[in-house]
Amino acid sequence: MKSSPASPRGAGVGLRLQHLSEVATRRPPAAWLEVHPENFLANPHAAELLDEIARHYPISVHSVGVSVGSAGGVDLSHLARVKKLIERIEPIMVSGHLAWSTHDGDYLNDLLPLPYNWESLALIADHVNKVQDALGRPYHLENPSNYLGFDQSVMTEVAFLSELVARTDCRLLCDVSNVHVSARNLGYDAYRYIDEFPADAVGEMHLGGFVVEDEEGELPGQVLIDTHSRPIDDSAWDLYAHAVKRFGAKPTLIEWDNDLPEFSVLLGEADRANQVAAEAVSQERREDVVAR
Ligand SMILES: [Fe+2]
């Protein structure tokens, strides 16, 4: 399997179509950029701009259409199209979600959850192996943001991801904001989740904004929705510092997809991620010295 080019240190930003021309022509100082390949597969003009941008920035490819959780299998023709794009821009990483979004050939515009049991584990491990074989490189799987749990689950999400790493040798993308959102929505400890996460497999981290909504009905309360539409919340920055202490300062992406601000705002969030990571690393070193 082909190894990816060396990962950059520090935080990058998600590159959405609205910022494509600006980045191609003005080349703002981003450490690296992450793109959704699906935005470029049927858009020749955008693909041309991406080819130009890839000559100047490290690029990470984050698929929203490779559905490893689909019971009907992964779409090999979609994978072939993603592979073509990958071969052109030589990304530093390739990633996607632990979720499903297709059924019987229909593409749903959502990342849907699945139960964590032995049956789904065998299915997804088989699909991840197929994805890695087809792309010829490691695939980074991202933990989802959860709004419900399944009675059919027999293990935690972390145990499920650890088993997937053991069975497929895939890498993991730890979305720290998703950990916070899921932990709040399902009532578990986000810090413990990070402590138990298979640190050696982490190749990338994500940070994104979420909104808090009041839930009505039988079980009123608050639900956190992973909208990628706001600045990173302080609770997620705190959890990110904890994750950096545990995983090291891995390439981290600022994800912002809706109500997109000026590109400079994204760069500001990336600067903050670099500051939080640097402080966490030096704090970890000081604690290490004191412990010895
Ligand atoms: Fe994410």
Q: Give DSSP secondary structure letters for 110-126.
A: EEE----SHHHHHHHHH
289 Cα to the center of ligand 1, angstroms: 34
Residue 109: what pLDDT? 59
Q: Which residue has the tokens 């530093």?
A: 92
Pull the structure tokens for residue 116.
């964590």
Does the pLDDT of residue 141 top 60, yes or no?
yes
What is the band of 219 on the pLDDT scale with cuts at 50, 70, 90?
low
In the reported structure, the alpha carbon of residue 97 is separated from the centroid of ligand 1 by a whole-number distance in angstroms of 8
**Ligand 1 midpoint to CA 141 (Å):** 10
Residue 48, helix vs strand vs coil? helix
Predicted pLDDT of residue 215? 77
Q: Give dist(CA 89, CA 85) in Å, integer.
A: 6
Pairing of strands 252-255, 202-208: parallel
- 291 alpha carbon to ligand 1 midpoint, in Å? 34
> What CATH number does the domain containing 272 carry?
3.20.20.150
Residue 241 in 3-state DSSP?
helix
Sign of the four-CA dihedral 35, 41, 46, 50:
positive
Taking alpha carbons only, the member of 194, 198, 226, 200 closest to residue 211 is: 226
pLDDT recorded at residue 288: 77
Answer yes or no: is 1 within a domain: no
Closest alpha carbon to 16 in 28, 41, 34: 34
The Å distance, Cα 228 to ligand 1 centre, comes to: 9
**Residue 174 is assigned to a structural domain of this protein:** yes
Note whether 155 and 116 are within 8 A (CB).
yes
Residue 2 domain flag: no
3-state secondary structure of 230: coil
Report how far ligand 1's centroid is from the alpha carbon of 260 (Å): 16
C-alpha 256 – ligand 1 centre gap (Å): 9
Distance 103 CA to ligand 1 centre (A): 22
If you measure from the C-alpha of residue 233 to the centroid of ligand 1, how many angstroms do you get, rounded to a whole number? 15
pLDDT value for 285: 85
Q: In the structure, what pLDDT confidence band is assigned to residue 42 with cuts at 50, 70 and 90?
A: very high
Does residue 114 register a pLDDT over 90? Answer: no
Share of the chain above pLDDT 70, in %: 91
Q: Residue 3 falls within a domain, yes or no?
A: no
∠ CA 253-257-258, rounded to 5°:
145
Is position 6 within any domain? Answer: no
Look at residues 180, 178, 107 and name the one whose alpha carbon lies nearest to residue 142: 178
CA of 177 to the centre of ligand 1 (A): 8
How many domains is the chain built from? Answer: 1
Q: What is the mean pLDDT of residues 98-125?
A: 76
Question: pTM of this prediction?
Answer: 0.92
Question: Residue 175: which H helix or E strand, with range?
Answer: strand 171-175
Which range of residues forms the domain containing residue 224?
11-291
User: What is the per-residue pLDDT for 111?
Assistant: 65
In the reported structure, the alpha carbon of residue 94 is separated from the centroid of ligand 1 by a whole-number distance in angstroms of 13
- Which range (57-71, 187-201, 220-234) has the least confidence? 57-71
CA of 288 to the centre of ligand 1 (A): 30
